Amino acid sequence: MRIPINWLEEHVKLPGKLSELTNRLTYAGHMLDKIDKVNENTVIDLELRGNRADCYSIMGIAKEVSALFKTPLKNVDLLKIKSAQKIKDINITVKSRYLQRVMSVKITDAKIGKSPGWLKDRLMEYGITSINNIVDLTNYVMVETGQPMHAFDFDKVGSDLEIRTAEKNEKIVTFLGDEIVLDKDDLVWANKGSILSVAGAIGGKNHSISDDTKNVLLEAASYDQANIRRTVHRHNLLTDAGLRHEKDLDPNLVELGFCRFLYLLDKNGWGDIAESALDFYPKPIHPWKVSLNYDYLKSFSGVDINKENLKADLKWLNFITQEETAEKIDVLCPTYRTDVKLEEDLIEEIIRLYGYEKIPASVLSLETPENITPDYVNQEIELKNHMIHMGYDEVISSPFVIPDYQKLNFSLSEKASPVTIINRPSPEIEEMRMTLIPSLLGFVKKIINERGEEARIFEIGKIYFQKNDKYIEKRVLGISYWKKSKKGFRKFKGYLDSLIKLMRLADIKFKAIKIPQIYNSYNLILNNEIVGVGGQIDDIYFAEIYLDALLGKSEKQKVNLWQKYPPQIEDLTIKIPKQVEIGKVIQSIKSANKMISKVTFTDRYKDNYTFRIYYQHSDKTLGDKEVEEIRKVIVSAVKKQ
C-alpha cells in the first residue's frame, strides 16, 4: 500500500524520524517495501497484508500509527445524510444475497471538469491516473478510507437498476474498452437493457461519467468477499476496487466512505446532494466479543506482559473492554477488524504492540521428543554418500519431461499412465516423468556436448504414475555412465556391483529383458522381486533402482580377517560356447568346491575365457595335487553347462 506521508499526516501525528515510523510499522506487521518521492513528497510503500482489508487505506494505517505511537487520530470531516429506503426517480432492486450493504444517492447539477491540483497530486502520489473531478474523488476517498465506490451518469442508467448475478455469456465493455464475457456467478449492476458494472471490480464504458454528465448516481457497497474474489480472478480484474473487495471489508465502512465523499464534494461545490440516500443493509454487523485468558497469553506467547499495559494497548486499537476478572478480559472488536475472531488473533494484537523484537529467543526447554526419522530418509542420505564415493555427481532434474524426450517416458516397471498437468503455464510443464532415464540421458548428452571425457551422474527422486484411479509416487535411484570412446558395460556393471556391496544387498541377479527403444536391457532381481532396471541408449549406460523395494533388505555390516594360510592362485582358460551366460559359468565354478574362495574373470580371447581361481583351505596350504583334483571338478562342472 502506497502511503503518501503528507496524506497520512493529515490523519495522525507522526514521529519525527521517518525510519522510526517505518521500523515500528515493519515490526508490527506492515513491512516497509520501499520509499520513493513523487511531487517532492515522500511515499512509503508498505507490504499489503491479506487479512487486513482495513489497512488498504490511509486511515487504516493512521489507526495503526495511532496505536503504535499512542497518539490520537485527527478528526475527519464527514457529511451525514438521512437514510431512506429509496432514491427519488430511480428503483434499485437487490436480487442477490451476495450484496451485504449498499448506499446510493443522486447528485444533481454536477460540475464535471478537470481535477484541482491537490486531488491530481494525491492520486499521482498513490499511483492512480486522473480522469475527472468526480471519478478522481471516488478514487481519492477509496484510498483514504479503504471503501471503493462508483459514480454512474444518472441520466444514462435509466430508472430501474438491479444488483443481480449475470446470465452466462452476458457482456460488458469496461470503461477501459475491454469486453468481458460474464459467467452466471458474477455479480453485476444492470438496468433493463445492459450491464452497467461488474460489482466491486470495474465500471462499464457507456454509463460512466463524461464531460456531458449533468447528474450523478453515486454508490458504495459491500459484497460477499468470496464471490467478488472468484469474479476478480476469473476475469483478471484486480483493480484497486477489486483488490479491496476480494478481502474481508467491513460493511460499516460503506457509510464512512460514502459520507466522506459527500463532504468533499459539497466542500468543493461539485454538485447538489439529494436530501436522503438509500441505505440497504439487511443484516448490520455489530462488534463481537473475544475473550483473553491471561495465563494462556503468557504460556502461548512466552512473555509476561503487564496487564495494565496490554489493556491500554487494546484500547488504543479500539477494542472495548466489556468484562474483566483476575483471570481474563472480554473485549468487543471494532467491526473493521475483520481479522480478529479468536483469542489467538487477540494475542497477536497484544504482542505486536508489545513488540516482536522484545520476545525472548528462548532455547527449546521442553522434553526432547523421540527420534522418528523413517528408514527411507536415512536410506537416501546413505545412498547419496555411496554414489559420491564412487565418483558420481548428484543431479536434480525437473519432474516434468522435456518434450524432446517424451517418447522415452514410459513406465519400466508396471502398466500405468503418466500424471499430466491440466493448467500448463508453459508447454514444457505437462507430463510428469515415469522414469528418470530421459532426464539423466539429457544431462549426460549435455556433458558430451560440453566435450566431457566421462559422465558419472545419479539422481534420487520420485517417478509418478496414475494407475487404477490412484496416483503413485515411487522413490528411485537413477544412475548413468558414459565414457568417451569406450564400450563400458563392464565398467558400469562394476559400479553397480560396488553399489550393491555398499548397500550390503545379498544376491542381486541380473536378468536380460526386452524393452523397445532401450538396448541391452536387464532387470535387477532380489529374492525373485524386480528391484531395478538397466540398459543402454546410444553408448550411455543407465540403471534405475527402486528404493522402496530395497528398504530393510540390507544385511548387517561385517568384517573378514585375512586367512591364516595363503591361497593358491591360478589362471584357467576355458572355451565357452556362444550364448552361454558368463555369470552362470562363474557361479558353477564357485560352487564346484568349497575350497574355491574366489573366482574372477580376467580376460577373453574369442571364445576362450580366462578366470583367476583362488584355492584356499582354512587349516593348511593346499598342495599341487589337491589343486589339480579341484581343477578337474571345475572343468567337469563347466562342461555340464
Partner 1 sequence: MNIKNQSIARITEIGSQTELSELKVEFLGRKGKINKLIKDIKRLSDEDKKEAGRAINDTKAAIEQAIQSKIEELETHKLLHVKWFDPTVPGIPYKIGHLHPTTIVVNEMFDIFKHLGFSIIEGPEIESDLYNFEKLNLPKDHPARSLQDALYVEDPEVVLRTHTSSVEVRALSTIKPPFRLVVAGKCYRYEKVNASNNAIFYQFQGFSLQSGLSMADLKGTLFYFAKSFFGEKREFRFRCKYYPEVEPGAGLDINCAFCNKKGCQVCKGRGWIEMLGSGMIHPNILQGMGYDPKKISGFAFGMGLDRIVMDRFGIKDIRSLYNGDIQYDL
Map the footprint of partner 1 across residues 9-48, applying CB under 8 A.
26-29, 31-35
Rounded distance between C-alpha atoms, residue 335 and residue 287, angstroms? 5
Q: What are phi and psi of 523, to 5 degrees?
A: -105, 150
Candidate segments 138-146, 380-388, 540-548, 613-621, binder of partner 1 by CB under 8 A:
380-388
One-letter amino acid identity for 89?
Answer: D
Phi, psi of 157 (to 5 degrees): -85, -15
Which listed range, 106-114, 158-166, 374-382, 559-567, lies at the site for partner 1 (CB under 8 A)?
374-382
Complex with partner 1: residue 171 or 341, whichever CB lies closer: 341
Q: Which grid cell is 120? A: 491530481
269: helix, strand or coil: coil
For 187, the grid coordinates are: 455479480
Identity of the residue, 476 or 634, whose beta carbon is nearer to partner 1 in the bound complex = 476
Q: How far is the CB of 597 from partner 1 (least distance, A)?
A: 29
Burial of 168 (0-12, 13-18, 19+ CB in 10 A): exposed
Nearest to 143 by CA among 270, 11, 241: 241
By C-beta, is 388 or 512 nearer to partner 1?
A: 388
Give the shortest CB-307-to-partner 1 separation in angstroms. Answer: 18
Asked if residue 452 lies in contact with residue 415, where contact means CB atoms within 8 angstroms, the answer is: no
Task: Name the segment binding partner 1 (CB under 8 A); options: 94-102, 160-168, 351-359, 507-515.
Answer: 351-359
Residue 120 binds partner 1 (CB under 8 A) = no
Residue with cell 528411485: 476
Helices (H) and strands (E) in the chain, counts: 18, 29
C-alpha cell at 137: 474523488
Q: Which residues of 193-217 are buried (b: 16+ CB within 10 A; e: fewer)?
A: ebbbbbbbbbbbebbbbeeebebbb
468 binds partner 1 (CB under 8 A): no
Residue from 108, 306, 309, 398 touching partner 1 (CB under 8 A): that is: 398
Answer yes or no whether residue 388 interacts with partner 1 by CB under 8 A. Answer: yes
Contact between 54 and partner 1 (CB under 8 A)? no
Q: Which of 100, 115, 225, 536 binds partner 1 (CB under 8 A)?
A: 225
Residue 395 in the binding site for partner 1 (CB under 8 A): yes
Q: Which is nearer to partner 1, 435 or 439 (CB)?
A: 439
CA–CA distance, 515 with 530 (Å, rounded to integer)? 15
Selected from 50, 72, 282, 552, the binder of partner 1 by CB under 8 A is 50
Rank residues 9 and 33 by Cβ distance to partner 1 and give the closer one. 33
* Region near partner 1 per CB under 8 A, out of 157-165, 178-186, 195-203, 228-236: 228-236
- Three-state secondary-structure class, residue 283: coil
List strands edge to edge, sheet with 568-575: 568-575, 608-615, 596-605
The reply on whether position 406 binds partner 1 by CB under 8 A is: no
Nearer to partner 1, 246 or 313 (CB): 246
Q: Which is nearer to partner 1, 23 or 593 (CB)?
A: 23
Residues 6+ apart with CB under 8 A from 497: none
Would you say 230 or 315 has its CB closer to partner 1? 230
Strand ranges inside 224-353, DSSP E = 272-273, 276-280, 288-293, 320-324, 328-333
Q: For residue 114, give the 3-state DSSP assignment.
A: coil
Nearer CB in complex with partner 1: 179/357: 357
Q: If binding means CB under 8 A, how many residues of this protein chain bind partner 1? A: 91
Compute the least distance from the CB of residue 418 to partner 1, in Å: 10
Dihedral, CA atoms, 397, 403, 407, 411, nearest 10 degrees?
Answer: 40
Is 394 among the residues that bind partner 1 (CB under 8 A)? yes
Between CA 292 and CA 349 the distance in angstroms is 11
Cα distance between residue 198 and residue 176, in whole Å: 13
DSSP 555-612: PPP---PPPSSPPEEEEEEEE--TT--HHHHHHHHHTT-TTEEEEEEEEEETTEEEEE
- Each residue 408-427 as x (binds partner 1 by CB under 8 A) or -, in order, gives -----------xxxxx-xx-
**How far is Cα 293 from Cα 285, in angstroms, rounded to an integer?**
25
Residues 529-568 that bind partner 1 (CB under 8 A): none
Does 454 sit near partner 1 (CB under 8 A)? yes
> Is residue 495 a contact residue for partner 1 (CB under 8 A)?
no
Q: Which is nearer to partner 1, 219 or 246 (CB)?
A: 246
Whose Cβ is closer to partner 1: residue 176's or residue 364's?
A: 364
Q: Compare residues 240 and 266 and give the one whose CB is closer to partner 1.
A: 240
Strand 179-181 and strand 171-173: the pairing is: antiparallel
- Residue of the chain from 392, 481, 492, 522 that contacts partner 1 (CB under 8 A): 392
> Please, what is the angle between helix 489-502 and helix 375-389, to 10°?
140
**Judged by CB under 8 A, does residue 364 bind partner 1?**
yes
Q: Which of 9, 76, 230, 593 binds partner 1 (CB under 8 A)?
A: 230
391 part of the interface to partner 1, by CB under 8 A: yes
- Pick the closer one to partner 1 by CB: 44 or 196: 44
Using alpha carbons, list the distances in angstroms from residue 24 to 1, 20, 64, 71, 354.
16, 6, 10, 14, 11
User: Least distance in Å: CB of 425 to partner 1?
Assistant: 5
Q: Which of residues 258-317 bind partner 1 (CB under 8 A)?
A: 296, 299-303
Given 154, 223, 270, 464, the residue binding partner 1 (CB under 8 A): 464
For the chain, helix, strand, coil in percent to 5 are 30, 30, 40
Residue selected from 348, 382, 539, 629 as contacting partner 1 according to rule CB under 8 A: 348
Out of 9, 272, 330, 344, the only residue in the binding site for partner 1 (CB under 8 A) is: 344
